[in-house]
Structure 1
Protein backbone atom coordinates (compact mmCIF):
# COMPACT_ATOMS: atom_id res chain seq x y z
CA UNK A 1 0.00 0.00 0.00
CA UNK A 2 1.44 3.35 -1.04
CA UNK A 3 1.72 6.34 1.28
CA UNK A 4 -1.07 8.09 -0.65
CA UNK A 5 -3.38 5.11 -0.12
CA UNK A 6 -2.46 5.00 3.55
CA UNK A 7 -3.23 8.68 3.91
CA UNK A 8 -6.57 8.24 2.10
CA UNK A 9 -7.55 5.29 4.31
CA UNK A 10 -6.63 7.22 7.45
CA UNK A 11 -8.63 10.22 6.29
CA UNK A 12 -11.61 7.97 5.53
CA UNK A 13 -11.49 6.45 9.02
CA UNK A 14 -11.30 9.90 10.56
CA UNK A 15 -14.30 11.04 8.51
CA UNK A 16 -16.29 7.99 9.56
CA UNK A 17 -15.38 8.64 13.19
CA UNK A 18 -16.43 12.27 12.87
CA UNK A 19 -19.78 11.29 11.33
CA UNK A 20 -20.44 8.79 14.12
CA UNK A 21 -19.51 11.35 16.76
CA UNK A 22 -21.86 13.94 15.24
CA UNK A 23 -24.65 11.37 15.00
CA UNK A 24 -24.29 10.40 18.67
CA UNK A 25 -24.18 14.08 19.67
CA UNK A 26 -27.18 15.07 17.55
CA UNK A 27 -29.42 12.10 18.43
CA UNK A 28 -30.71 13.53 21.76
CA UNK A 29 -31.62 16.78 20.00
CA UNK A 30 -33.40 14.86 17.24
CA UNK A 31 -35.27 12.76 19.80
CA UNK A 32 -36.36 15.87 21.69
CA UNK A 33 -37.80 17.44 18.53
CA UNK A 34 -39.34 14.13 17.51
CA UNK A 35 -41.04 13.79 20.88
CA UNK A 36 -42.28 17.39 20.83
CA UNK A 37 -44.46 16.61 17.77
CA UNK A 38 -45.86 13.32 19.10
CA UNK A 39 -49.33 12.92 20.60
CA UNK A 40 -49.41 12.40 24.35
CA UNK A 41 -50.26 8.72 23.97
CA UNK A 42 -47.14 7.98 21.90
CA UNK A 43 -44.64 9.78 24.15
CA UNK A 44 -44.64 7.14 26.90
CA UNK A 45 -45.20 4.23 24.55
CA UNK A 46 -42.92 1.24 25.04
CA UNK A 47 -42.52 1.02 21.26
CA UNK A 48 -40.18 3.74 19.99
CA UNK A 49 -41.34 5.79 17.00
CA UNK A 50 -38.46 7.38 15.14
CA UNK A 51 -40.78 9.60 13.10
CA UNK A 52 -43.52 11.81 14.60
CA UNK A 53 -46.51 10.12 12.98
CA UNK A 54 -49.23 10.99 13.70
CA UNK A 55 -48.05 14.61 13.73
CA UNK A 56 -49.39 17.18 16.21
CA UNK A 57 -48.74 20.76 17.34
CA UNK A 58 -50.81 20.38 20.45
CA UNK A 59 -47.78 20.17 22.74
CA UNK A 60 -46.55 23.56 21.55
CA UNK A 61 -49.96 25.15 22.04
CA UNK A 62 -50.03 23.70 25.54
CA UNK A 63 -46.60 25.17 26.26
CA UNK A 64 -47.25 28.73 25.06
CA UNK A 65 -50.64 28.81 26.83
CA UNK A 66 -49.02 27.89 30.11
CA UNK A 67 -49.43 30.67 32.73
CA UNK A 68 -46.60 33.24 32.96
CA UNK A 69 -44.94 32.17 29.69
CA UNK A 70 -44.84 35.69 28.24
CA UNK A 71 -43.75 37.30 31.53
CA UNK A 72 -40.98 34.79 32.17
CA UNK A 73 -39.81 35.07 28.56
CA UNK A 74 -39.51 38.84 28.96
CA UNK A 75 -37.65 38.43 32.27
CA UNK A 76 -35.16 36.02 30.69
CA UNK A 77 -34.61 38.33 27.73
CA UNK A 78 -34.01 41.38 29.96
CA UNK A 79 -31.60 39.55 32.27
CA UNK A 80 -29.68 37.86 29.47
CA UNK A 81 -29.26 41.00 27.35
CA UNK A 82 -28.13 43.07 30.33
CA UNK A 83 -25.60 40.39 31.34
CA UNK A 84 -24.14 40.21 27.84
CA UNK A 85 -23.78 44.00 27.50
CA UNK A 86 -22.41 44.66 30.99
CA UNK A 87 -20.11 41.62 31.15
CA UNK A 88 -18.57 42.19 27.72
CA UNK A 89 -18.09 45.91 28.38
CA UNK A 90 -16.42 45.39 31.75
CA UNK A 91 -14.34 42.44 30.52
CA UNK A 92 -13.07 44.37 27.51
CA UNK A 93 -11.99 47.33 29.64
CA UNK A 94 -10.39 45.05 32.25
CA UNK A 95 -8.55 43.02 29.60
CA UNK A 96 -7.33 46.24 27.95
CA UNK A 97 -5.95 47.48 31.26
CA UNK A 98 -4.27 44.14 31.98
CA UNK A 99 -2.53 43.99 28.60
CA UNK A 100 -1.68 47.65 28.01
CA UNK A 101 -0.79 48.98 31.47
CA UNK A 102 1.73 47.91 34.08
CA UNK A 103 0.51 48.40 37.64
CA UNK A 104 1.12 46.91 41.07
CA UNK A 105 -0.83 43.72 41.70
CA UNK A 106 -1.53 42.93 38.06
CA UNK A 107 -0.30 39.33 38.29
CA UNK A 108 -2.12 38.83 41.57
CA UNK A 109 -5.33 40.06 39.97
CA UNK A 110 -4.95 37.55 37.14
CA UNK A 111 -4.42 34.72 39.61
CA UNK A 112 -7.52 35.77 41.55
CA UNK A 113 -9.57 35.88 38.37
CA UNK A 114 -8.43 32.35 37.48
CA UNK A 115 -9.09 31.09 41.02
CA UNK A 116 -12.61 32.52 41.03
CA UNK A 117 -13.34 30.69 37.78
CA UNK A 118 -12.39 27.39 39.46
CA UNK A 119 -14.89 27.76 42.32
CA UNK A 120 -18.01 25.59 41.74
CA UNK A 121 -21.06 27.76 41.25
CA UNK A 122 -23.33 25.76 43.62
CA UNK A 123 -20.86 26.49 46.44
CA UNK A 124 -21.64 30.20 46.08
CA UNK A 125 -25.42 29.95 46.44
CA UNK A 126 -25.57 30.76 50.16
CA UNK A 127 -22.91 33.55 50.14
CA UNK A 128 -24.54 35.25 47.16
CA UNK A 129 -27.99 34.86 48.69
CA UNK A 130 -26.86 36.50 51.93
CA UNK A 131 -24.99 39.21 50.03
CA UNK A 132 -27.98 40.15 47.91
CA UNK A 133 -30.22 40.01 50.97
CA UNK A 134 -28.01 42.52 52.80
CA UNK A 135 -28.17 44.80 49.75
CA UNK A 136 -31.97 44.43 49.52
CA UNK A 137 -31.62 43.03 46.00
CA UNK A 138 -33.28 39.65 46.45
CA UNK A 139 -36.24 39.02 44.17
CA UNK A 140 -35.01 41.64 41.70
CA UNK A 141 -33.92 41.19 38.12
CA UNK A 142 -31.00 43.56 38.77
CA UNK A 143 -29.67 41.31 41.53
CA UNK A 144 -29.99 38.25 39.31
CA UNK A 145 -28.24 40.05 36.46
CA UNK A 146 -25.36 41.05 38.73
CA UNK A 147 -25.03 37.43 39.87
CA UNK A 148 -24.75 36.12 36.32
CA UNK A 149 -22.36 38.92 35.38
CA UNK A 150 -20.05 37.90 38.22
CA UNK A 151 -20.07 34.33 36.91
CA UNK A 152 -19.14 35.13 33.32
CA UNK A 153 -16.62 37.92 33.97
CA UNK A 154 -13.57 35.75 34.88
CA UNK A 155 -13.66 33.71 31.68
CA UNK A 156 -14.52 36.67 29.46
CA UNK A 157 -11.60 38.64 30.88
CA UNK A 158 -9.20 35.76 30.22
CA UNK A 159 -10.43 35.20 26.68
CA UNK A 160 -10.36 38.87 25.70
CA UNK A 161 -6.94 39.25 27.33
CA UNK A 162 -5.62 36.54 25.01
CA UNK A 163 -7.03 38.30 21.94
CA UNK A 164 -5.67 41.69 23.02
CA UNK A 165 -2.21 40.26 23.58
CA UNK A 166 -2.18 39.32 19.90
CA UNK A 167 -2.73 42.93 18.79
CA UNK A 168 0.61 44.72 18.22
CA UNK A 169 1.12 47.73 20.46
CA UNK A 170 2.73 49.53 17.50
CA UNK A 171 -0.71 49.97 15.93
CA UNK A 172 -1.89 51.96 18.92
CA UNK A 173 1.31 53.96 19.14
CA UNK A 174 1.06 54.88 15.45
CA UNK A 175 -2.53 56.02 15.93
CA UNK A 176 -1.58 58.13 18.95
CA UNK A 177 1.26 59.74 17.00
CA UNK A 178 -1.35 60.75 14.42
CA UNK A 179 -3.36 62.45 17.18
CA UNK A 180 -5.84 59.76 18.23
CA UNK A 181 -6.78 59.61 21.90
CA UNK A 182 -6.97 56.51 24.07
CA UNK A 183 -10.75 56.13 23.61
CA UNK A 184 -10.43 56.53 19.85
CA UNK A 185 -7.72 53.85 19.75
CA UNK A 186 -9.89 51.48 21.76
CA UNK A 187 -12.97 52.11 19.62
CA UNK A 188 -11.40 52.13 16.15
CA UNK A 189 -8.39 49.81 16.49
CA UNK A 190 -8.61 47.45 19.44
CA UNK A 191 -12.32 46.68 19.35
CA UNK A 192 -12.50 45.72 15.63
CA UNK A 193 -9.41 43.52 15.92
CA UNK A 194 -10.67 41.60 18.96
CA UNK A 195 -14.24 41.30 17.68
CA UNK A 196 -13.94 37.48 17.32
CA UNK A 197 -13.16 37.28 21.03
CA UNK A 198 -16.02 39.64 21.86
CA UNK A 199 -18.45 37.50 19.87
CA UNK A 200 -17.18 34.24 21.42
CA UNK A 201 -17.46 35.56 24.96
CA UNK A 202 -20.88 37.07 24.26
CA UNK A 203 -22.12 33.61 23.22
CA UNK A 204 -20.77 32.17 26.48
CA UNK A 205 -22.39 34.96 28.52
CA UNK A 206 -25.70 34.53 26.69
CA UNK A 207 -25.84 30.77 27.25
CA UNK A 208 -24.84 31.07 30.92
CA UNK A 209 -27.50 33.66 31.73
CA UNK A 210 -30.20 32.06 29.59
CA UNK A 211 -29.85 28.49 30.91
CA UNK A 212 -29.42 29.01 34.65
CA UNK A 213 -32.09 27.53 36.88
CA UNK A 214 -30.57 27.28 40.35
CA UNK A 215 -29.89 30.94 41.07
CA UNK A 216 -33.08 32.14 39.39
CA UNK A 217 -35.08 29.81 41.63
CA UNK A 218 -33.18 30.61 44.83
CA UNK A 219 -32.98 34.40 44.39
CA UNK A 220 -36.59 34.88 43.30
CA UNK A 221 -39.71 34.25 45.38
CA UNK A 222 -42.15 36.16 43.21
CA UNK A 223 -43.57 34.05 40.39
CA UNK A 224 -43.94 37.15 38.21
CA UNK A 225 -40.13 37.55 38.26
CA UNK A 226 -39.16 34.00 37.39
CA UNK A 227 -37.17 33.23 34.25
CA UNK A 228 -37.89 30.58 31.63
CA UNK A 229 -35.77 27.79 33.23
CA UNK A 230 -37.90 28.09 36.38
CA UNK A 231 -41.04 28.21 34.24
CA UNK A 232 -40.05 24.86 32.71
CA UNK A 233 -40.25 23.28 36.15
CA UNK A 234 -43.95 24.16 36.32
CA UNK A 235 -44.72 21.25 33.96
CA UNK A 236 -43.96 18.86 36.83
CA UNK A 237 -46.62 18.97 39.54
CA UNK A 238 -47.91 16.71 42.32
CA UNK A 239 -50.39 15.26 39.85
CA UNK A 240 -47.69 14.29 37.35
CA UNK A 241 -45.49 15.59 34.57
CA UNK A 242 -46.79 16.87 31.27
CA UNK A 243 -44.01 15.38 29.16
CA UNK A 244 -45.41 16.59 25.86
CA UNK A 245 -45.67 20.18 27.01
CA UNK A 246 -42.31 19.99 28.77
CA UNK A 247 -40.49 18.69 25.69
CA UNK A 248 -42.19 21.25 23.44
CA UNK A 249 -41.37 24.05 25.89
CA UNK A 250 -37.75 22.88 26.02
CA UNK A 251 -37.59 23.02 22.23
CA UNK A 252 -38.94 26.57 22.26
CA UNK A 253 -36.51 27.44 25.05
CA UNK A 254 -33.55 26.43 22.85
CA UNK A 255 -34.60 28.60 19.89
CA UNK A 256 -33.24 31.97 21.17
CA UNK A 257 -29.79 30.45 21.77
CA UNK A 258 -29.72 28.99 18.27
CA UNK A 259 -30.91 32.27 16.72
CA UNK A 260 -28.33 34.28 18.66
CA UNK A 261 -25.52 31.98 17.57
CA UNK A 262 -26.65 32.10 13.94
CA UNK A 263 -26.68 35.89 14.06
CA UNK A 264 -23.16 36.18 15.44
CA UNK A 265 -21.41 33.24 13.79
CA UNK A 266 -20.95 35.10 10.51
CA UNK A 267 -19.42 38.01 12.41
CA UNK A 268 -17.20 35.57 14.28
CA UNK A 269 -15.89 33.88 11.12
CA UNK A 270 -15.50 37.21 9.29
CA UNK A 271 -13.63 38.70 12.23
CA UNK A 272 -11.27 35.74 12.49
CA UNK A 273 -10.57 35.90 8.74
CA UNK A 274 -9.96 39.64 8.88
CA UNK A 275 -7.66 39.22 11.84
CA UNK A 276 -5.64 36.59 9.98
CA UNK A 277 -5.25 38.85 6.97
CA UNK A 278 -4.25 41.85 9.06
CA UNK A 279 -1.78 39.79 11.01
Structure 2
Protein backbone atom coordinates (compact mmCIF):
# COMPACT_ATOMS: atom_id res chain seq x y z
CA UNK A 1 0.00 0.00 0.00
CA UNK A 2 2.79 2.41 0.92
CA UNK A 3 4.61 1.62 -2.30
CA UNK A 4 1.50 2.46 -4.34
CA UNK A 5 1.07 5.76 -2.51
CA UNK A 6 4.72 6.57 -3.10
CA UNK A 7 4.33 5.82 -6.81
CA UNK A 8 1.22 8.00 -7.07
CA UNK A 9 3.02 10.86 -5.32
CA UNK A 10 5.83 10.67 -7.84
CA UNK A 11 3.49 10.89 -10.85
CA UNK A 12 2.96 14.66 -10.69
CA UNK A 13 6.67 15.56 -10.21
CA UNK A 14 7.60 13.16 -13.01
CA UNK A 15 5.05 14.73 -15.36
CA UNK A 16 6.36 18.20 -14.58
CA UNK A 17 9.93 16.98 -15.15
CA UNK A 18 9.00 15.49 -18.53
CA UNK A 19 7.24 18.68 -19.60
CA UNK A 20 10.21 20.80 -18.53
CA UNK A 21 12.61 18.46 -20.37
CA UNK A 22 10.49 18.65 -23.53
CA UNK A 23 10.44 22.46 -23.40
CA UNK A 24 14.23 22.56 -23.02
CA UNK A 25 15.03 19.88 -25.62
CA UNK A 26 12.52 20.91 -28.32
CA UNK A 27 14.45 24.00 -29.62
CA UNK A 28 17.59 21.86 -29.95
CA UNK A 29 15.63 19.15 -31.77
CA UNK A 30 14.06 21.75 -34.07
CA UNK A 31 17.47 23.20 -34.88
CA UNK A 32 18.79 19.77 -35.95
CA UNK A 33 15.51 19.05 -37.78
CA UNK A 34 15.74 22.28 -39.77
CA UNK A 35 19.43 21.82 -40.55
CA UNK A 36 18.77 18.50 -42.31
CA UNK A 37 15.88 19.81 -44.44
CA UNK A 38 16.15 20.71 -48.10
CA UNK A 39 16.92 24.49 -48.37
CA UNK A 40 13.61 25.08 -50.15
CA UNK A 41 11.63 23.66 -47.22
CA UNK A 42 13.38 25.58 -44.43
CA UNK A 43 10.99 28.55 -44.60
CA UNK A 44 7.87 26.45 -45.16
CA UNK A 45 4.80 27.61 -43.24
CA UNK A 46 3.72 24.00 -42.68
CA UNK A 47 5.64 22.45 -39.74
CA UNK A 48 7.60 19.31 -40.64
CA UNK A 49 8.64 17.36 -37.56
CA UNK A 50 10.77 14.89 -39.52
CA UNK A 51 13.36 16.10 -42.07
CA UNK A 52 12.44 13.58 -44.75
CA UNK A 53 14.08 13.23 -47.17
CA UNK A 54 17.29 14.12 -45.32
CA UNK A 55 19.52 16.69 -47.02
CA UNK A 56 23.04 17.87 -46.14
CA UNK A 57 22.97 20.76 -48.59
CA UNK A 58 22.69 23.31 -45.79
CA UNK A 59 25.87 21.94 -44.18
CA UNK A 60 27.70 22.04 -47.51
CA UNK A 61 26.65 25.64 -48.01
CA UNK A 62 27.65 26.58 -44.46
CA UNK A 63 31.11 25.05 -44.76
CA UNK A 64 31.69 26.55 -48.20
CA UNK A 65 33.47 29.50 -46.59
CA UNK A 66 37.21 29.08 -47.30
CA UNK A 67 38.11 30.35 -43.81
CA UNK A 68 35.85 27.89 -41.98
CA UNK A 69 38.61 25.61 -40.70
CA UNK A 70 40.65 28.64 -39.66
CA UNK A 71 37.68 29.91 -37.63
CA UNK A 72 37.26 26.49 -36.03
CA UNK A 73 40.97 26.30 -35.18
CA UNK A 74 40.95 29.79 -33.63
CA UNK A 75 37.87 28.99 -31.53
CA UNK A 76 39.36 25.73 -30.25
CA UNK A 77 42.73 27.31 -29.50
CA UNK A 78 41.21 30.28 -27.69
CA UNK A 79 38.70 28.18 -25.72
CA UNK A 80 41.05 25.36 -24.69
CA UNK A 81 43.87 27.74 -23.82
CA UNK A 82 41.48 29.75 -21.67
CA UNK A 83 40.35 26.58 -19.87
CA UNK A 84 43.90 25.35 -19.19
CA UNK A 85 45.20 28.71 -17.96
CA UNK A 86 42.08 29.39 -15.90
CA UNK A 87 42.32 26.01 -14.17
CA UNK A 88 46.02 26.43 -13.37
CA UNK A 89 45.57 29.91 -11.93
CA UNK A 90 42.28 29.09 -10.17
CA UNK A 91 43.66 26.00 -8.46
CA UNK A 92 46.67 27.88 -7.12
CA UNK A 93 44.59 30.90 -6.07
CA UNK A 94 41.79 28.90 -4.41
CA UNK A 95 44.26 26.80 -2.39
CA UNK A 96 46.12 29.95 -1.33
CA UNK A 97 42.90 31.66 -0.22
CA UNK A 98 41.65 28.70 1.81
CA UNK A 99 44.85 27.25 3.25
CA UNK A 100 46.90 30.40 3.89
CA UNK A 101 46.23 33.50 5.95
CA UNK A 102 47.54 36.71 4.39
CA UNK A 103 46.78 40.42 4.53
CA UNK A 104 43.91 41.40 2.26
CA UNK A 105 42.51 37.88 1.99
CA UNK A 106 38.93 38.88 2.79
CA UNK A 107 39.11 41.90 0.51
CA UNK A 108 40.36 39.67 -2.32
CA UNK A 109 37.32 37.41 -1.93
CA UNK A 110 34.99 40.43 -1.95
CA UNK A 111 36.64 41.76 -5.11
CA UNK A 112 36.04 38.40 -6.80
CA UNK A 113 32.31 38.81 -6.20
CA UNK A 114 32.24 42.45 -7.29
CA UNK A 115 34.12 41.77 -10.53
CA UNK A 116 31.51 39.19 -11.53
CA UNK A 117 28.82 41.88 -11.30
CA UNK A 118 30.43 44.02 -14.03
CA UNK A 119 28.69 43.47 -17.41
CA UNK A 120 31.00 42.40 -20.19
CA UNK A 121 29.75 45.12 -22.56
CA UNK A 122 31.00 47.79 -20.15
CA UNK A 123 34.56 46.44 -20.47
CA UNK A 124 34.81 46.41 -24.26
CA UNK A 125 36.36 49.87 -24.65
CA UNK A 126 38.79 49.63 -21.68
CA UNK A 127 40.00 46.21 -22.84
CA UNK A 128 40.29 47.41 -26.44
CA UNK A 129 42.46 50.35 -25.36
CA UNK A 130 44.58 48.18 -23.07
CA UNK A 131 45.23 45.55 -25.76
CA UNK A 132 46.04 48.29 -28.27
CA UNK A 133 48.65 49.71 -25.92
CA UNK A 134 50.44 46.36 -25.58
CA UNK A 135 50.09 45.49 -29.28
CA UNK A 136 47.70 42.56 -28.72
CA UNK A 137 44.83 43.67 -30.95
CA UNK A 138 43.86 41.28 -33.75
CA UNK A 139 45.81 38.60 -31.88
CA UNK A 140 44.29 35.35 -30.56
CA UNK A 141 46.43 35.36 -27.35
CA UNK A 142 45.06 38.84 -26.65
CA UNK A 143 41.55 37.40 -26.91
CA UNK A 144 42.56 34.65 -24.45
CA UNK A 145 43.69 37.30 -21.94
CA UNK A 146 40.30 38.98 -22.33
CA UNK A 147 38.46 35.73 -21.65
CA UNK A 148 40.60 35.06 -18.59
CA UNK A 149 39.65 38.42 -17.09
CA UNK A 150 35.99 37.31 -17.00
CA UNK A 151 36.42 33.60 -16.32
CA UNK A 152 38.93 33.69 -13.44
CA UNK A 153 36.74 35.38 -10.80
CA UNK A 154 34.04 32.70 -11.13
CA UNK A 155 36.42 29.74 -11.34
CA UNK A 156 38.44 30.90 -8.32
CA UNK A 157 35.27 31.47 -6.31
CA UNK A 158 33.84 28.07 -7.24
CA UNK A 159 37.02 26.07 -6.64
CA UNK A 160 37.43 27.86 -3.32
CA UNK A 161 34.28 26.06 -2.13
CA UNK A 162 35.67 22.69 -3.18
CA UNK A 163 39.00 23.29 -1.45
CA UNK A 164 37.16 24.21 1.75
CA UNK A 165 35.36 20.87 1.55
CA UNK A 166 38.64 18.91 1.73
CA UNK A 167 39.53 18.14 5.38
CA UNK A 168 42.89 19.69 6.23
CA UNK A 169 43.65 16.55 8.26
CA UNK A 170 44.15 14.64 5.00
CA UNK A 171 46.89 17.01 3.96
CA UNK A 172 48.48 16.92 7.40
CA UNK A 173 48.47 13.11 7.33
CA UNK A 174 50.16 13.15 3.94
CA UNK A 175 52.80 15.58 5.26
CA UNK A 176 53.47 13.29 8.24
CA UNK A 177 53.97 10.40 5.80
CA UNK A 178 56.70 12.43 4.12
CA UNK A 179 54.82 13.92 1.14
CA UNK A 180 55.98 17.26 -0.17
CA UNK A 181 53.47 20.02 -0.94
CA UNK A 182 53.53 19.03 -4.61
CA UNK A 183 52.95 15.33 -3.89
CA UNK A 184 50.18 16.20 -1.42
CA UNK A 185 48.48 18.29 -4.08
CA UNK A 186 48.88 15.61 -6.76
CA UNK A 187 47.84 12.56 -4.68
CA UNK A 188 45.38 14.07 -2.16
CA UNK A 189 43.90 17.38 -3.29
CA UNK A 190 43.70 16.95 -7.06
CA UNK A 191 41.62 13.70 -7.05
CA UNK A 192 39.15 15.24 -4.60
CA UNK A 193 38.95 18.44 -6.64
CA UNK A 194 38.30 16.63 -9.94
CA UNK A 195 34.48 17.15 -9.94
CA UNK A 196 34.93 20.86 -9.23
CA UNK A 197 37.58 21.19 -11.93
CA UNK A 198 35.24 19.59 -14.47
CA UNK A 199 32.31 21.85 -13.53
CA UNK A 200 34.35 25.06 -13.64
CA UNK A 201 36.24 24.08 -16.80
CA UNK A 202 32.92 23.59 -18.61
CA UNK A 203 31.87 27.08 -17.54
CA UNK A 204 35.17 28.50 -18.81
CA UNK A 205 34.93 26.61 -22.09
CA UNK A 206 31.35 27.68 -22.82
CA UNK A 207 32.10 31.34 -22.02
CA UNK A 208 35.07 31.37 -24.39
CA UNK A 209 33.42 29.24 -27.10
CA UNK A 210 30.18 31.26 -27.23
CA UNK A 211 31.68 34.75 -27.14
CA UNK A 212 30.87 36.96 -30.10
CA UNK A 213 31.24 40.54 -28.81
CA UNK A 214 34.93 40.51 -27.89
CA UNK A 215 35.94 38.32 -30.84
CA UNK A 216 34.18 40.72 -33.22
CA UNK A 217 35.67 43.87 -31.68
CA UNK A 218 39.22 42.68 -30.95
CA UNK A 219 39.86 40.56 -34.07
CA UNK A 220 39.69 42.30 -37.44
CA UNK A 221 41.55 39.93 -39.77
CA UNK A 222 39.46 37.06 -41.22
CA UNK A 223 42.27 34.58 -40.51
CA UNK A 224 42.14 35.44 -36.78
CA UNK A 225 38.36 35.43 -36.26
CA UNK A 226 36.36 32.72 -34.50
CA UNK A 227 33.24 30.66 -35.21
CA UNK A 228 30.71 33.04 -33.54
CA UNK A 229 31.82 35.75 -36.00
CA UNK A 230 31.47 33.21 -38.82
CA UNK A 231 27.83 32.61 -37.79
CA UNK A 232 26.94 36.23 -38.52
CA UNK A 233 28.36 36.00 -42.04
CA UNK A 234 25.14 34.36 -43.28
CA UNK A 235 23.24 37.60 -42.69
CA UNK A 236 23.80 39.88 -45.68
CA UNK A 237 22.15 42.92 -47.25
CA UNK A 238 20.23 40.57 -49.53
CA UNK A 239 18.70 38.68 -46.61
CA UNK A 240 19.44 35.78 -44.28
CA UNK A 241 20.34 32.30 -45.48
CA UNK A 242 18.33 30.53 -42.78
CA UNK A 243 19.26 27.01 -43.86
CA UNK A 244 22.99 27.67 -43.75
CA UNK A 245 22.62 29.64 -40.50
CA UNK A 246 20.88 26.77 -38.74
CA UNK A 247 23.36 24.23 -40.13
CA UNK A 248 26.22 26.45 -38.94
CA UNK A 249 24.58 26.61 -35.50
CA UNK A 250 24.50 22.80 -35.38
CA UNK A 251 28.18 22.61 -36.30
CA UNK A 252 28.95 25.28 -33.69
CA UNK A 253 27.01 23.41 -30.99
CA UNK A 254 28.45 19.94 -31.59
CA UNK A 255 31.73 20.34 -29.64
CA UNK A 256 29.86 21.48 -26.53
CA UNK A 257 27.25 18.70 -26.85
CA UNK A 258 29.91 16.03 -27.29
CA UNK A 259 31.89 17.43 -24.37
CA UNK A 260 28.77 17.31 -22.19
CA UNK A 261 28.09 13.68 -23.09
CA UNK A 262 31.56 12.67 -21.90
CA UNK A 263 31.60 14.64 -18.65
CA UNK A 264 27.94 14.84 -17.63
CA UNK A 265 28.38 12.55 -14.60
CA UNK A 266 31.33 14.55 -13.35
CA UNK A 267 29.40 17.76 -14.05
CA UNK A 268 26.40 16.77 -11.90
CA UNK A 269 28.68 15.60 -9.10
CA UNK A 270 30.68 18.80 -9.27
CA UNK A 271 27.65 21.10 -9.26
CA UNK A 272 25.96 19.37 -6.31
CA UNK A 273 29.18 19.08 -4.33
CA UNK A 274 29.96 22.73 -4.92
CA UNK A 275 26.47 23.71 -3.77
CA UNK A 276 26.92 21.84 -0.48
CA UNK A 277 30.51 22.80 0.23
CA UNK A 278 30.46 26.39 -0.99
TM-score of the aligned structures, taking structure 1 as reference length: 0.93
State the partner residue of 2:149: 150
Q: How far apart, CA to CA, are the structure 2 residues paired with 1:33 and 1:161?
A: 38
Q: 1:271 to 1:214 in 2, by over 3 A?
A: closer
Query: How many residues end up aligned between the 2 structures?
Result: 274
Question: Within 5 Å, which residues of 2 pair with 1:23-172?
Answer: 23-172=22-171
Structure 1 residue 270: Cα displacement = 7.9
Contact 2:199 2:271 in 1 (8 A): no
Structure 1 residue 268: Cα displacement = 4.8
- Secondary structure of 2:103's partner? coil
Q: Is 1:18 paired with 2:20?
A: no
Q: How far apart, CA to CA, are the structure 2 residues paired with 1:175 and 1:249?
A: 51
Structure 1: stretches of 5+ with no match in the other structure: 275-279
**Deviation readout 1:72-110 (Å, 9 max, x if unpaired):** 000001101100000011001000000100011100000
Q: Is 1:178 paired with 2:181?
A: no
Moved more, 95-104 or 253-262: 253-262
Q: How far apart, CA to CA, are the structure 2 residues paired with 1:8 and 1:179?
A: 54
Contact 1:38 1:53 in 2 (8 A): yes
- Secondary structure of 2:66's partner? coil
Q: 1:16 to 1:115 in 2, by over 3 A?
A: same
Q: 1:273 to 1:146 in 2, by over 3 A?
A: closer
**Deviation readout 1:42-65 (Å, 9 max, x if unpaired):** 111111111112321111111122
Q: How far apart, CA to CA, are the structure 2 residues paired with 1:108 and 1:221?
A: 38
Q: How far apart, CA to CA, are the structure 2 residues paired with 1:230 and 1:51?
A: 30
State the partner residue of 1:214: 213
Structure 1 residue 186: Cα displacement = 1.2
Q: How far apart, CA to CA, are the structure 2 residues paired with 1:14 and 1:59?
A: 40
Structure 1 residue 16: Cα displacement = 0.4
Contact 1:193 1:271 in 2 (8 A): no
Q: 1:213 to 1:184 in 2, by over 3 A?
A: same
State the partner residue of 1:202: 201
Q: 1:24 to 1:62 in 2, by over 3 A?
A: same
**Deviation readout 1:224-256 (Å, 9 max, x if unpaired):** 100000011111111221111110111011111
Q: How far apart, CA to CA, are the structure 2 residues paired with 1:76 and 1:117?
A: 23
Q: How far apart, CA to CA, are the structure 1 residues paired with 2:126 and 2:43?
A: 41
Q: 1:198 to 1:179 in 2, by over 3 A?
A: same
**Deviation readout 1:159-186 (Å, 9 max, x if unpaired):** 1110110101111111111221111111
Cα RMSD between the aligned structures?
2.1
Structure 1 residue 66: Cα displacement = 1.8
Q: How far apart, CA to CA, are the structure 2 residues paired with 1:232 and 1:257?
A: 16
Contact 1:195 1:268 in 2 (8 A): no
